[in-house]
């Protein structure tokens, strides 16, 4: 059945047109934020980096540090996967470069050589480094050099920053396996010794949780790959 409508005989007034246009645009920001990483003036605020976490971290805890594109999404995905499973603390920040005391604006400019990164303190008795690294290769695309989805630049590169020889060995072994079995020899992930870490500004911490509907990198999702050999 075709439904008919009685259209107005008079053209819509300019004021009414503006009201309709404004109402339509009001709903656009949330949609656009999911597709495009916003760079408003607040994103470039030069403020004092976040202070060290107040969470009590035992001496037996180990560090896990990686870069996989926009750190908002990386932190959010790791929280969803591992929260309550042996992680003491989560921080996003900057590492891998040669500039001291970097801030978001200078890292984004590409002049610091730093990457946007995630650092986790975890309990090795409850969660393994292998689990964290394997998830790393499922949740992002490690085959795109200096980019992740639409985000382009060395600060969006794929990298593993190991904290001891055991982590380095395991990172290289797992990378070799996923390169052959999952990513068809195309992995470009850097494996580097962890250097100085700087916390990102406070507004970047838990950004996705604090800003529902915010930007999500389209290459950040969990791939359904077969399990690796132990």
Active site positions, annotated: 70
- Per DSSP, the chain holds a count of helices (H) and strands (E) of 7, 8
170 to 85, 121, 181: CA distances (angstroms): 21, 17, 16
For residue 100 the two structure tokens come to 């001291």
DSSP 115: E
Three-state secondary-structure class, residue 64:
strand
- Per-position DSSP letters for 152-180, written without gaps between them: ESGGG-EEEEESSHHHHHHHHHHHHHHHH
Spatial separation of the C-alpha atoms in residues 15 and 173, rounded to whole Å: 66
Residue among 217, 228, 79, 200 nearest 144 (CA):
217
Residues in contact with 6: Cβ distance below 8 Å, sequence separation at least 6, in sequence order: none
Q: Around Cβ 166, how many Cβ atoms within 10 Å? A: 11
């Amino acid at each position: 059945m075709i439904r008919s409508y009685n259209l107005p005989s008079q053209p819509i007034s300019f004021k009414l047109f503006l009201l309709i246009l404004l109402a339509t645009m009001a709903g656009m920001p949330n949609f656009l934020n999911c597709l495009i990483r916003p760079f408003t003036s607040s994103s470039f605020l030069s403020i004092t980096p976040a202070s060290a976490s107040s969470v009590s971290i035992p001496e037996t805890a180990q560090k896990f540090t990686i870069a996989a594109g926009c750190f908002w999404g990386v932190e959010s995905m790791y929280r969803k996967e591992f929260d309550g499973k042996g992680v003491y603390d989560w921080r996003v920040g900057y590492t891998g470069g040669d500039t001291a005391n970097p801030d978001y604006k200078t890292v984004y400019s590409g002049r610091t050589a730093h990457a946007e990164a995630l650092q986790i303190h975890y309990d090795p008795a409850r969660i393994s480094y292998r689990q964290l690294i394997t998830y790393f290769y499922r949740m992002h695309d490690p085959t795109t050099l200096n980019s992740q989805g639409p985000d382009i630049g060395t600060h969006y590169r794929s990298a593993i920053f190991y904290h001891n020889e055991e982590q380095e060995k395991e990172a290289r072994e797992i990378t070799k396996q996923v390169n052959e079995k999952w990513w068809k020899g195309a992995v470009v992930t850097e494996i580097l010794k962890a250097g100085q870490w700087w916390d990102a500004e406070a507004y970047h911490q838990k950004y996705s949780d604090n800003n529902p509907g915010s930007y999500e990198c389209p290459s950040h999702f969990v791939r359904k790959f077969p399990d690796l050999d132990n």
